[in-house]
């Protein structure tokens, strides 16, 4: 059974590349898309970078994103993100 440890209170993600965040230098981020539509999630090495990697997150879902502490994320619409520890 998977376990999640909440490390930081969730925050709203930035909805443009210029407002990307490392989510408190998290290595695992719990993303909650509580919107009624698909959201694009971008992961980049720096805020506003053109080298962003993307994935689509379905409406009303939760995903756990593993990333480097220095990488930043942003989404096409504001969703909730929390720094967590996770064991699968």
Residue 5 maps to a domain: no
Residue 72 maps to a domain: yes
Q: pTM, whole model, 2 decimals? A: 0.91
pLDDT, one tens digit per residue, over 63-82 is 999 999 999 999 999 999 99
Q: Are 2 and 87 in contact (CB under 8 A)?
A: yes
Residue 3 maps to a domain: no
The boundaries of the domain holding residue 29 are: 11-82
Residue 1 maps to a domain: no
- Residue 61 CA neighbour count, 13 Å, CB half: 12
Residue 36 maps to a domain: yes
Structure tokens at 67: 């990333």
The total number of structural domains in the chain stands at 1
Residue 26 maps to a domain: yes
Residue 15 maps to a domain: yes
Q: Are 47 and 20 in contact (CB under 8 A)?
A: yes
- In whole angstroms, give the CA distance from residue 83 to residue 47: 18
pLDDT, one tens digit per residue, over 55-68 is 999 999 999 999 99
């Amino acid at each position: 059974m998977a376990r999640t440890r909440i490390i930081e209170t969730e925050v709203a993600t930035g909805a443009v590349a210029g407002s990307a965040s490392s989510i408190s230098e998290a290595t695992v981020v719990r993303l909650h898309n509580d919107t009624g539509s698909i959201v694009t999630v971008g992961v980049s090495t720096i805020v506003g970078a053109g080298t962003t990697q993307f994935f689509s997150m379905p409406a009303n879902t939760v995903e756990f994103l593993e990333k480097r502490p220095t990488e930043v994320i942003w989404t096409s619409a504001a969703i909730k993100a929390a720094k967590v520890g996770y064991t699968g």
